[in-house]
Structures are given as structure tokens and as C-alpha cells.
Amino acid sequence: MADMTLQRLAIVGVGLMGGSLGMALRKQGGWQVRGLARREHTLRVARTRGAIDVGSTDPAQVLPGADIVVFCSPVDKIVSLARAYRRFFSPNALLMDVGSVKGPLVRPLGKLFDGRDRPVFVGAHPMAGSEKTGVENARANLYQGAVCALTPTSRTPPRRVVQAADFWESVGARSLVIDPDAHDHAVALVSHLPHLIADALMLSAGEWTKAHGGTLLKKLAAGSFRDATRVAGADPHLWRGIFHMNDRAVRRALRLFSKNLTQLSRRQWSLGDLRRAQTLNALFKEKA
């Protein structure tokens, strides 16, 4: 890993992801971590938890002079925020994000920030998180062992991709360079679709409860239901933005899922289909 020389980090949005990043970097030392948030209360909690050194609700107090800026805001707000804050960025700054949709971010921001006497944007998506939100739930080891997808374009200087990879590896992540659209189609299936399934399961349970009462369901619901619906507890505003931004890929994943669900039913719960699913489950548990 290359020796990290950048010391000043600005985090836009000090919640679970941003707070965890700040905690990890401050724990390793050698960083000044600045936080930008909408509310003073968030900044107070972030300071108390050790997620930032200094913070402000004013971008002019946080962004100038930062070597690296990481947008940890909701994914559907990142493009507008980056454009609004562009006058505050240092010309040599590396800009990144943690959003789970890449194409709609990388295309406009890759053109706007391409390193020609201005900052460089490298799309990043660490595959880490929780249904819990807020800096109150941040933890320094959140990124440990997680894959971080990096989605450069043909405009991105290669040395900046290396710099981005070194940054995420310094907090314990494993970097993976991937095409933005390939990323969006893959996460639609393994991340976004499971959230929709969890939501649909909870809505189904809600309808059953309305007709029959919820006491029996609560008594009988065990690990499989809890595991399948855990992520339905995530922030609805955050996930609505994700679904909208990755709409085409999510709908494609939903059609594939619906086809297989219907097929299981039509084939009368075929033992061959169930065995194939079991085999695939074992294969997916193996390390890539």
C-alpha cells in the first residue's frame, strides 16, 4: 500500500457511514477530520463519539483546504451538493462518495471534476452499513473486511484511482475497480432487491395482521422472518432515493426474481429447483 500523505479529510454528512469513517481514521492517527452537517446536534454527537475533530453547518468552514472530501449524504443529494460546493474545493482535492448507485453520480461528476486544474471525482461504494442510521450507531470497524467498489471513468487519472484504493484500504476495506453500470446492475440484485423483498414481506404481514390480528404472527415469527425483514427497518427516505436512482436495474432484478418465484410455484416446489438453490447458496458463501 502506498504511503498516505494526505491529512485533511472533510466528511459531508456525518451519519452512520461518515461517522464510522471519521472514527476509523482518527483511530489510526495522522488525520484531521472535519465534519459538515445540517444540524449542530449531529456535530455535537459526532465530536462526543470521536468521529470528527471539528465540524460546522457552514461548508466554507469545512471544505476549503481539505485534501479528500467524502460525500456521505443520501445518494440522491450528492450531485446537487457537489455542484453547490464546488467553489470551496481545493484544486488538488480528491472527491469521493459512499453511495450505493454509481452511474447517475459518476457521469455528471466525472465530467465536472476531471482533474484539469480542478478536483477529481472517483465514485466509491463500500459494501458496509446497517439498517440503523445516524452517527450514534457509527463504529470504527464498520469498513473492516468490506469490499469497496471504485467506479472510475475514462476521464479519471489512474493515479487518483490508486489514491482512492489506498484510502479505503487504510480503513480495512478491499478495493474493487468496476464499471459504474456493471456495479449498478449487480447491487440491484444483491442489495437493492433484498430491501424491496423485506419491505414487501412486512407489508404482507401488515395486511395479514389487519385481517387476523398480529399476536399469532409475532409469536410464530422466528429467525427466518427476522433475518429476511431486518433491512425493512432502514430509513425510507434514503432507500426511496436509491430505488429511484437505480430504477431500471432494480426493475430488471425484480423481473428476474418474480420469474423464479413464479417458476417455483408452477413446478409445485420442485425438488430439483430447491436443491439447485441450496447448491447456489453454498457457492455464494464461498469467498470470491
118 and 219 together in one domain: no
121 and 203 together in one domain: no
Tell me, what CATH number does 118's domain have?
A: 3.40.50.720
pLDDT band for position 6 (cuts 50, 70, 90) = low
Position 3 in a domain: no
63 and 156 together in one domain: yes
pLDDT at 3: 43
141 and 254 together in one domain: no
Residue 139 has pLDDT above 70, yes or no: yes
167 and 150 together in one domain: yes
> What's the pTM?
0.92
pLDDT band for position 288 (cuts 50, 70, 90) = low
What confidence tens digit (pLDDT) does each residue in 19-36 have?
999 999 999 989 999 999
Residue 2 has pLDDT above 70, yes or no: no
35 and 164 together in one domain: yes
Q: How many domains does the chain have?
A: 2
| Share of residues in the chain with pLDDT > 90 (%) | 89
pLDDT at 53: 96
SS (H, E, C) the chain: CCCCCCCEEEEECCCHHHHHHHHHHHHHCCCEEEEECCCHHHHHHHHHHCCCCEEECCHHHCCCCCCEEEECCCHHHHHHHHHHCHHHCCCCCEEEECCCCCHHHHHHHHHHCECCCCCEEEEEEECCCCCCCCHHHCCCCCCCCCEEEEECCCCCCHHHHHHHHHHHHCCCCEEEECCHHHHHHHHHHHHHHHHHHHHHHHHHHHHHHHHHCCHHHHHHCCHHHHHHHHHHHCCHHHHHHHHHHCHHHHHHHHHHHHHHHHHHHHCCCCHHHHHHHHHHHHHHHCCC
- Residue numbers of the domain that contains 127: 8-178
